[in-house]
Structure 1
Amino acid sequence: MRLRTVLATVTAALAAATCLTAAGPAAANSRIGKACSPSVSIDRFSDALDKTTYQGSFVGNFSALAVDRDGSIAALEDRSSLFGLDPATLAPKSVVPLADEKGAALDSEGLVIDRDGTRLITSETEPSIRRYSVDGKILDRLPVPSALLVAPAGRATSNQTFEGLTLLPGGRTLLASMENAISGDATNTVRFQTWQRTKGGHFRLGAQYAYPVDSGLGVPEVQATPDGRLLVLERGFTSGVGNTVRLYLADPRHATDTSGIENLTGRPGVRMIKKTLLTDMVTCPSLGATAKQAQPNPLLDNIEGMTITGRDARGRLKVLLVSDDNQNAAQTTRFYYLRVRV
């Protein structure tokens, strides 16, 4: 989601941003690995793509990441483009424009690369989940519960809907996270919706779960771990202070199916998704990072995308994060390389 509190006029210098050079990523990386918490460490960050262009397209506004079948990094831009990035250098290799059935731009936020290479992509304006071919053609559209639609059709608020998307181990269950609460639910309760794969390869509606988000924060991203739990990003912004970004480990496996519950407001007997704080990223070492606006830690920015890229020799998950710069001169497109023990 493009945080409205941080939107600003893009400067002329931004419009004149130049293409990424081959030397850019190496020069922009900081490679000192240090702990953020007992569970999370950060290896490095990279600002190599900040305010760059590729084939005439602005490189930024990133809202989601995924590992493609060829090992490249798929980076979803929330203004309707999907970039392919070199996994070692982050240099763009391709860009594919996206649109809805009428050719209009999406507010694209969540991304899954399915097992056949097709792309499942959310747009938070309706909200919707569409399946796209590698070259950007619409192949399918998933059903969405009426309550999760944007008002007046449903009870959701525009730009507060499907931000995160992930496929659980085994590939049979797809999960999308709402960014914020729908009308009638407690403000600190966010719904996670699932779909089950059918024999024909489509998805039908599945169970829904309640997730307890920290006060003042929303959920911009969720990623399934190999054992079926979830990494959940929570994020907020306070003008003059900066961003809050927390990483949680969540377990939906014993949560109540809330798809038949109209209002989630302190209902007894509803088992919410259990979560455990892995780190508040304000505690990470700054690694020499600089911020273009006030931040409690200059390393922080509007972190919005996340993917698990593998495991290290110690069994820790290698997690890649990216910030959405909103094409704003006061923000940065920044990639973060984490190691997470779950």
Structure 2
Amino acid sequence: MVRLRSVLVLCLALALVCLSSCSLPRVSAEERLFLDLSTELLDVYELPTQMVQGVPLGGLSALAYDAQTDRLYALCDDRQRPRLYVLSLSVNKDARGQPRLAQVAIANVIFLKNSDGEPYPANTVDPEGLALSPRQTVFITSEGVPATNSPPFIAEFNRDGQALTSFRLPDRFLPDDPQQPTRGVQENLGLEALTLNAVPSPMGMVDPFRLFTASESALVQDYDDDPSHALNSRFLHYLIGPEQATLLAEHLYPLELEPQGAIVNGLTELLALDQGGHFLALERSFGLKGFQNQLFQMAIGGATDTSTMASLDGVGDSIRLIRKRLLFDFATIDGPQDNLEGMSLGPRLPDGSRSLLLVSDDNFNADQATLLFLFRLQ
């Protein structure tokens, strides 16, 4: 009886080994790190050049969709009159049943104002990042304007466009000299990307929530002028509470190696996907080959906290970077890519799947266009 029991135990153990090694699919550590995502490009809609409330439509650098009002907010990076456009859009099916952007119209224009309710002086704000908060406010980042000694900032605005408060950035992000800085964000390569996530409690409370922003490229003190070395952006993770914002961590985001002949190369947008540290990241370069855009999935789990490092000089390979994986390369599509800078989850598509919207910044240049890309994200 004892011998029979031993044989049964041995058979069971062998069966379990066979199941674990033969029947079950093997999942790599890389696959466990990322979400199982796919994208499908559905449509590209060109917004016509037009004047609205005395200002031209253009310079769209960020997007944020409000599901409660079914409106899309678009941030304009005009340094003369920084503003928000409120857009209405409708998605229909074409003859083949494919979702299409049937119409995009401007519902309102909101001009940004300082905390005193006055328009910002020209060339003091360069708005680039946008996020709608669950407390019915708007978060905006400015790259800053070194020429007017205007530092970069993260600020919270009400829905009428008036600044309520701003949050302190670490000194390492603030240029120490407008002409020849030895630290801080580079000219026109500051806080380009912004996103947040929030989970309402059963009682309807929304505080606190997380906010994430990142520099478009390396800080001055982190810059490596060797073209064979890829640069790193700094990614900031804040906890936003009722009365204050607390910097929880900072990580390094590895940029793609700058293409040969590129004039500008960097991270232009972030989009939080969940509470587990998964994001979409949009990178853009421009140079001899025109505009090149790539969409990545990124994961911050396991990345080194660099918030105590004023400079990356001499740190070598001791830092674990944010991990990323290519999700969509715009080089694979026909037609113009243009200057992609804004990204947001959009309304549900007719089949119930989630849409992803991206927009190009035409820089108020007649040779460029304001393009709205519609993707299915699943």
Question: TM class, shorter-chain normalised?
Answer: 0.7 to 0.9
Where structure 1 has 5 or more consecutive residues not aligned to the other structure, the ranges are 1-37, 287-297
Structure 1 residue 50, shift from structure 2 partner: 3.0
Structure 1 contact 143–204 (Cα < 8 Å) conserved: no
Q: Secondary structure at the match of 2:331?
A: helix
The residue number in structure 2 matching 1:94 is: 108
Structure 1 contact 169–226 (Cα < 8 Å) conserved: no
Structure 1 residue 333, shift from structure 2 partner: 0.5
Correspondence list, 1:321-340, <5 A: 321-340=358-377
Match 2:304 to one of 256, 263, 283:
256
Match 2:319 to one of 270, 281, 297:
270
Q: Does 1:132 align with 2:157?
A: yes
What letter corresponds to residue 217 of structure 2 in structure 1?
Answer: N
The residue number in structure 2 matching 1:211 is: 253
Q: Does 1:281 align with 2:309?
A: no
Q: Distance in 1 between matches of 2:158 and 2:311?
A: 37
1:314 to 1:262, Cα distance in 2 relative to 1, 3 A: farther
The residue number in structure 2 matching 1:74 is: 73
Structure 1 contact 143–205 (Cα < 8 Å) conserved: no
Structure with greater helix share of residues: 2
Structure 1 residue 186, shift from structure 2 partner: 4.8
1:303 to 1:215, Cα distance in 2 relative to 1, 3 A: same
Q: Secondary structure at the match of 1:191?
A: strand
Structure 1 residue 310, shift from structure 2 partner: 4.9
Residue-by-residue CA offset, 1:152-205 (whole Å, 9 max, x unaligned)? 27422121110010003436210001001012325411101121122x243122
Q: Does 1:165 align with 2:194?
A: yes
What letter corresponds to residue 207 of structure 1 in structure 2?
Answer: A
Q: Distance in 2 between matches of 1:330 and 1:76?
A: 21
Q: Secondary structure at the match of 1:93?
A: strand
What letter corresponds to residue 267 of structure 2 in structure 1?
Answer: V
Structure 1 contact 179–219 (Cα < 8 Å) conserved: yes
Q: Does 1:197 align with 2:240?
A: yes
More relative contact order, 1 or 2 (CA 8 Å, 6+ apart): 1
The residue number in structure 2 matching 1:7 is: none
Q: Does 1:155 align with 2:154?
A: no
Query: What CA RMSD, in Å, does the superposition of the two structures yield over aligned residues?
Result: 2.1
Structure 1 residue 264, shift from structure 2 partner: 2.6
**TM-score between both structures, scaled by the size of structure 1:** 0.79
What letter corresponds to residue 89 of structure 2 in structure 1?
Answer: P
Identical amino acids, percent of aligned pairs: 32
Moved over 6 A (4+): none
Q: Distance in 2 between matches of 1:123 and 1:63?
A: 11
Structure 1 residue 99, shift from structure 2 partner: 3.7
Match 1:107 to one of 123, 126, 150:
126
Q: Secondary structure at the match of 1:184?
A: helix
Structure 1 residue 316, shift from structure 2 partner: 5.7
The residue number in structure 2 matching 1:84 is: 86
Structure 2 contact 252–321 (Cα < 8 Å) conserved: yes
Larger-gyration structure (1/2):
2
